[in-house]
Structures are given as C-alpha cells and as structure tokens.
Amino acid sequence: MEVKLHTARTLVGRLRGAAAVHDGAATAVAIAEVRHISKNDPDIRAALADAGAVPFLAAQLTAPSAASEDAAAALLNISISAREQLMSTPGLLDALMAALRAEEYCAAHHAAATVYSLLCVEANRPVIGARRPLLAALVSLLRAAPNTRATKDALKALFAVALYPPNRATLVGLGAVQALFALIMTDGRTGIMEDATAVVAQVAGCAESLDAFMRMSGLRILVDLVEQGGASTPRTRENAAAALLNLVVAGGERAVAEVIAVGGAEEAVRELAEDVMASARGKAKAESLLRALECGGVRRREHRLADFLNGLVQSDPYISSPASASTHG
C-alpha cells in the first residue's frame, strides 16, 4: 500500500502542478493517467481520493475541455471505492450536473454512472434527491437519449433516486414520467425497455404519479405490456405489473378505478397471475394487483379496498434493479 500511496501522491502532484501553471496539455496527460490507473488498479482508488485527486478532476467538468471525458471516467472509477470522499468534496455534485448538461455525451454518461455509484449508499439518496437541478439534468439526458450507454446510465441513476420515496414526487414534477413513457414508446431495445419500466415502477409509488401517468396514457401502455405477448421480455411485463400495483397502492380508490376503466386490464392481470411460466415475482405482483382490482370493481363495503391497499408494501424487493455501476475505461 505504501507504493500505491506514493504513486497516487505523485500523480496528484503532477496534476496540481499542471493546473497551477494552467498547462492544459500536461493536465490532460495527468488526468488520462489517473483514469487508466484507477480503472486497472482498484486498490489505488481510495489512495487517489485521499491524495486530493477529486477536486482537480471535478474542476475539469465545470469548464468543458479535452480532458472532461477522462476526468468524468476517473471520478466514476474512484467513486466505487471512495464514495464518502466524493460526497464530502465541495462542488462535486455541481460538477457532475455540469457534465450531465454538457454536449460531450461521453462525459455525460460517465457522470450519470457516477451519480448512480454514489446513490448505492442509502444515506446519499436524500442528499442527491434534494438537488433538483441535478435530477433535472438526469431527466434531460434521458430525453436526449444520445446513445444506449448514456440512456442506461441515466436510467440506473433515476432508479436509485426513486428508491428514496420522497424523491418520487420530485421526479414527477421534473417531467420524468413523460420522459420515461416517451422512451418506452419509441425505444425497442430490450435492455432499455426493462430498465425504463423498472424506473416507472418505482416512480409510480407516490400519489402525484397518477395524473402524470394518465396524461401520457400510461395506464393503457402498462396494461398493454402486461398482456400476454405485449412485452418483449418477462421482466418488462413484470415491471409493468409492479408499476400498476404501486400506482394503486399510492393512489388509492381513484387509481384502482382508473386502472379498471382501461379495457382488458383485469383480464391481462389475471393472465399473468395464472401464467405457469411467469416468475414468482411476476405472479405475486399480479395476484396482489388482481385482488385490488376485484375489491374496487365489486364496490363492496367501502373500507374493504382501503384496508387491502393499506396492507400492501409500496417498496418491495421484487422490483428488479438495473445492473450495478462498473468502471469506465
């Protein structure tokens, strides 16, 4: 470790020296070396953070330069082993927001992946969720959908943001529902569909989602995905059922009535509940949702539906997560 600490200090010293004399070329070379070594040597990442690399790397994101992509990738690599150091660096979240909004999409997708990496720590979710401009930048990147990698990184970050329930209403207010359904309707790539519907399922778990879903014909879209053959993969189908279930749990009787009003909703959910090929997760979601719809449909004693919905858990381990962050070379 002493050798790694010495190497880290030497690299950061070079970076500091180049920055002090405003030598852009030397700065770019030093940052590229930090990116390379932080990708290939996991043991040096914390040492680089301790040596002070993070502020210098973050500075490259606030003023786009030739080194911005390397700096963003290096921050991602370091974050995997030194999340606390990144979160405690003043201006780090602002720098990531700047990278997300930059025209350099390679830097943007590294920044989105770094945000996701930081969100893997539960305590960071309310802190990052309080940064509306940062969340807005993630939603904007989703709308831009520059390439598969950037889109998937933005989806992973938004999924992790939505794991903290108070953040869901914020995402709705920032237009995440519209961006997600637009992506679902226009992007047929399997991985994108699976991750987008996973985010939709999480965002659905707040009272503010129902109106936003209805404005996008979201209930119809989700029911179509739940129908046999409506989704390209079982996971997408199950995520759609999870979204409808979270929607009725959060939205109560009105949400149940709106789902019932969608033609074929109960039949589609029943098919999933009875599908012997469906996973335990999918069948559990469908069975709970079907009971909620049946309670609302027969309009028996008014408290029956409310009691049933109160007994369901909104946040549930059966909702699948996008893949974990990885280093970006």
Do residues 108 and 99 make contact, with C-beta atoms less than 8 angstroms apart?
yes
* pLDDT over 70 (residue 313): no
Over residues 55-65, the pLDDT tens digits come to 999 999 988 77
Smallest CA-to-CA distance from 270 within 297, 300, 299 is with: 297
Please give the Cα distance from 82 to 322 (Å, whole number). 22
pLDDT at 190 over 70: yes
CA pair distance 236, 239, nearest whole angstrom? 5
Give the tokens for residue 251: 């939205």
Contacts of 299 (CB under 8 A, 6+ apart): none
Token couple for 25? 């070329």
Helices 176-186 and 166-173: crossing angle, nearest 10°? Answer: 70
pLDDT band at 317 (very low <50, low <70, confident <90, very high): very low
Residue range 164-315 in CATH 1.25.10.10: yes
Residue among 172, 178, 49, 169 at smallest CA distance from 117: 49
Residue type, 145: A
- The answer to whether the Cα torsion of 325, 114, 239, 306 is positive or negative is positive
Residues of the chain with CATH 1.25.10.10: 1-145, 164-315
- Element (DSSP H or E) covering residue 48: helix 45-50
Could you tell me the pLDDT band of residue 308, with boundaries at 50, 70 and 90? low
Measuring CA to CA, which residue among 161, 163, 56, 146 is closest to residue 110? 146
Average pLDDT, integer, range 162-178? 98
Q: State pTM to two decimals.
A: 0.90
Return the SS3 of 288.
helix
Lowest mean pLDDT among 66-80, 140-154, 182-196, 296-310: 296-310
Quote the CA–CA distance of 100 and 108 in Å, as a whole number: 4
Instruction: Return the pLDDT at 2.
Output: 85
Q: How far apart are CA 42 and CA 46, in angstroms?
A: 8
Mean local confidence (pLDDT), 114-131: 98
Q: How far apart are CA 204 and CA 185, in angstroms?
A: 17
CATH H superfamily, domain 1-145: Leucine-rich Repeat Variant (1.25.10.10)
Other residues' Cβ atoms within 10 Å of the Cβ of residue 183: 23
Say which residue the tokens 């207010």 belong to. 173
pLDDT for 247:
96
